[in-house]
A and B are shown apart, each in its own frame.
Chain A
Amino acid sequence: MLTNKRGSLIGAVLAVSIGILVIHVNFVIFQGLYDAIIRDMSDYRFGDVYVIDEEDFIEKSDLALVNWFERIPYVEAAAPRLSSSASINATKYGQKTEEFQIPVVGVDPFRDTRVSTIHETIYDGQYVFSRNSLVVGSTVAQDLGGVEVGDSLKLKIVDRWGQDQLKRFIVTGITNTPGGQGLDTSVIIHIDTLRDMLDRKGDTGSLLVKLNDPTKAVEVKNFFLASFPNDDFKAETIDESAEDALRGFRSGIAMINMIGYFGMMSSAFAIVTILMMLVTSKTREIGVMRAIGAKRKDILIIFLLQGVIIGAIGAGVGTALGLSYTIYAKETKMQWEGSLALEVSYQWQKTVQTALMAFALAIVASIYPSYRATKLQPIEAMRTV
């Protein structure tokens, strides 16, 4: 009625919608990136629960520990790993490449494929399958002058007694992960070969435990630690393992979210401005309404109702746009050239919270213009042309 200014109202609705959309886009990108890093760290390096010995290597039988874990209903699989470093060089076209240090990861090829998806990142060749096969990270392969499957590589590892141990391997695969979250800068060999080279028979560096319900990680971790009170085991959930790497990132997300909410505040100011313009342009009509008997309360309700309508439509449209973007990002596994694919999830609580906040802000933003409208004196208002 009084507020029938379609252009202005569409503007106000758009302001609310865009505010919500910005929050959704920020969330999809930054939370998606955060969750993707956690996902990849879990898939490639730590599992859902990561077990190490606080002092040194795990001396208990890896088979016994794996069996112990796999009896827990929440556990899908467990696998041992052993890490060290090695000097590596390759001979390419008769030329020996420069020798440099790289991390070496020893895996149990059968068990590892059940806890980690690193074997799925082999883009050429296949995963470790024998005692002398070696998988090279794409960065290492590049640094070695373009190592290919079938090439021969020599690793030099210093054993526990300080003696150099040399062994020649055949490259059976090359691994590459989007965003470099995997083992692109390492080489992967059979865990028993690494144990032999280090002279650490039966020792394990870490255990990766994969759960069928990752939300039970804390429960599994606590149960494990309680079951081995006399050992120096240290167990971490993936969130704890990733904490150091992601602490800064999380602050970044908080900052970006804040920027999103500031954007929403700007939308509120836009609504105030648009409704103030509406009140100004409708001053004469407000005067007429007051003259023919409308109370201040009636005028207040008309403009507040406008805020409610703007908030409701804006929140609805913004949420629909935001959800559409989220669905698109989730379905297309959104990623940019070579970056890791975003791990997009639907956060219904956050979606509802954002929509309600935008709705409430629109109403709050309409209070002042509505109050100003009620303060117009009919006689003064009607003089406005």
Chain B
Amino acid sequence: MDKTYGEGETAVNALKDVSFSVNKGEFLLVVGSSGSGKSTLLNMIGLLDRPTNGRIFIDGVDTMTLDDNEVSAFRNSKLGFVFQSANLIPDLTVLENVMLPRQIQRTDESATTDSLKLLRGVGLEKQAHKRANRISGGQAQRAAIARGLVNKPTIVLADEPTGNLDSITAETIVQLMKSMAKKLGQTFIVVTHEREQFGDVDRIITIKDGRAFEGEEAPSKIEVTV
């Protein structure tokens, strides 16, 4: 897929001819320097933005054929999000935040039990009934991971999930994501520019100047065929 912002002389090609697939249960790290296009790529996969050209298939569904309502429903059921800042709703409790995707889906029956189970899994059981604005940054990010997992999504997309955390808390969050991925067989696509924090992962894609390359290193010289 390609993604171009603007038109004519001011056009910026944020992503160029990016093509890759992700296997179920894979923990995929997308690395690259600032401005390389990592977050743009994640927004495309997360259906928060649309590519200029190309298609994105998730679970065999061509997401380009979905209308706005279908995209919302698809995001809700197939995708989980963990943002750089936890982005919890401050007026809700931690538990209510985790339950939110389920409430949007209107499948409330087991929402509380599932959410509490996930909160136990991320070590936040005791904070479940605290307001989201009363917990620390690390705890908020753990709650965000639980929220990302509550709908049992096909893919969890994490955009710089440790970007706002100190190194010790960041390490905890990385370990938590990796352990949840392993325990639940959950596919993770994590965008980061701090490669070393993640240690061993299943696969790495490097983004450089809007192009995607398998592995940790992008070629120093990129050949462009016109």
> Does B49 lie at the interface of the complex (its beta carbon under 8 Å from any beta carbon of A)?
yes
- Quick one: CB contact mask for B73-85 with A, threshold 8 Å, 1 for yes? 1011100010100
Say yes or no for A289: interface residue by CB 8 A criterion: yes
A284 at the binding interface (Cβ < 8 Å):
yes
B91 CB contact (under 8 Å) in A4, A292, A294, A295: A4
Does B147 reach chain A (CB closer than 8 Å)? yes
| A229 contacts partner chain B, Cβ-Cβ < 8 Å | no
A292 near B75 with CB under 8 A, answer yes
Task: Decide if A291 is an interface residue (CB 8 Å cutoff).
Answer: yes
A residues near B77, Cβ cutoff 8 Å: 293
Task: Flag whether A276 is at the interface (Cβ < 8 A).
Answer: no
What's the Cα separation between A146 and B81 when bound, in Å?
92
Q: Is A199 an interface residue (CB 8 A)?
A: no
Type the 1/0 row for A274-302, where 1 means its CB is closer than 8 Å to any CB of B.
00000000001100111111111110000
Q: How many residues of A contact B (CB 8 A)?
A: 19
Known: A292-B75, A293-B104. A379 touches B89 (CB 8 A): no
A379-B49 in contact given A291-B75, A292-B75, A292-B147 (Cβ < 8 Å): yes
B72 in contact (CB, < 8 A): yes
Chain A residue contacts of B72, Cβ below 8 A: 290, 293-296
Interface contacts (Cβ under 8 Å), in number, total 54
Asked if B91 and A284 make an inter-chain contact with CB atoms under 8 angstroms apart, the answer reads no
B81 lies within 8 A of A292 (CB): yes
Choose one: A4, A291, A295; the contact of B73 (CB below 8 Å): A295
Q: Are B89 and A1 in contact (CB under 8 A)?
A: yes
Secondary structure dominating the interface of A:
helix
Q: How far is the CB of B5 from chain A (nearest CB, A)?
A: 12
A-side contacts of B48, CB under 8 Å: 291, 378-379
B75 touches A293 (CB 8 A): yes
Residues of B within 8 A of A289 (CB): 89, 100, 104
What are the residues of chain A within 8 A of B151 when measuring CB–CB? 293
| Alpha-carbon distance between A314 and B101 when the two chains are bound, in angstroms | 32
- B35-91 residues at the A interface, CB under 8 angstroms: 43, 46, 48-49, 68-69, 72-73, 75-77, 81, 83, 87, 89-91
- Check A292 against B89 for contact (C-beta < 8 Å): no
The answer to whether residues A382 and B104 also contact, given A2-B89, A285-B89, A293-B77 and a CB cut-off of 8 A, is no
Closest partner residue, chain A, to B87 (CB atom): A288
Name the residue in A1, A288, A292, A297 with the highest tally of chain B Cβ atoms < 10 Å from its Cβ. A292
Instruction: Report which B residues bind A (CB closer than 8 A).
Output: 43, 46, 48-49, 68-69, 72-73, 75-77, 81, 83, 87, 89-92, 100-101, 104-105, 147, 151
Apart from A1-B91, A290-B72, A294-B76, 5 more pairs, CB < 8 Å: A288-B87, A289-B89, A291-B48, A293-B101, A296-B68
Taking Cβ atoms with an 8 Å cutoff, the residues of A that contact B are: 1-2, 4, 284-285, 288-298, 378-379, 382
26 contacts between A and B (CB under 8 A): A2-B89, A4-B91, A288-B83, A289-B89, A289-B104, A290-B72, A291-B46, A291-B75, A291-B81, A291-B83, A292-B101, A293-B73, A293-B77, A293-B105, A293-B151, A294-B72, A294-B104, A295-B68, A295-B69, A295-B73, A297-B69, A298-B104, A379-B43, A379-B48, A379-B49, A382-B83
